[in-house]
Amino acid sequence: QSALTQPASVSGSPGQSITISCTGTSSDVGGYNYVSWYQQHPGKAPKLMIYDVSNRPSGVSSRFSGSKSGNTASLTISGLQAEDEADYYCTSYTSSSPFVFGTGTKVTVL
């Protein structure tokens, strides 16, 4: 099972919006609405930010939103803040291995 494809890095200025893509296949992202997104600050454990493509757990800022079109899922961070600087990973349920993670995206706040 190959990792889902994410851009290595995305950057934006405070207050701007950025979008991170997560591309898979019809056997994972495209075949199921079980895409979730995780935020990881350096030296910390990942934190669930979005699940089931577009749902936010309680306590996660509404500035984070998710969507999906075909085999590509996306995470959008609006009103970018300094605290959003972190690594972000998508994951999807798959028809073979239960789960596959994305390659990860480093978000930099300029």
Partner 1 sequence: EVQLVESGGGLVQPGGSLRLSCAASGFTFSTYWMHWVRQGPGKGLVWVSRINSDGSSTRYVDSVKGRFTISRDNAKNTLYLQMNSLRAEDTAVYYCVREVGLRFDYWGQGTLVTVSS
Would you count residue 7 as binding partner 1 (CB under 8 A)?
no
Residue from 10, 20, 22, 100 binding partner 1 (CB under 8 A) = 100
Would you state the structure tokens that stand for residue 74, as one six-digit string? 């996306």
According to the binding rule CB under 8 A, does residue 89 interact with partner 1? yes
d(C-alpha 105, C-alpha 70), whole Å: 20
Q: What does the angle CA 35 – CA 76 – CA 79 come to, to the nearest 5 degrees?
A: 150
Contact with partner 1 (CB under 8 A) among 19, 27, 30, 34: 34
Task: Kindly determine how many residues on this chain lie close enough to bind partner 1 according to the rule CB under 8 A.
Answer: 24
Residue 58 binds partner 1 (CB under 8 A): no
- Confirm if 13 and 110 have CB atoms less than 8 A apart: yes
88 binds partner 1 (CB under 8 A): no
Applying CB under 8 A, which of residues 45, 59, 62, 82 lies at the interface with partner 1?
A: 45
Q: Which of 69, 66, 88 is nearest to 78 (CA)?
A: 66
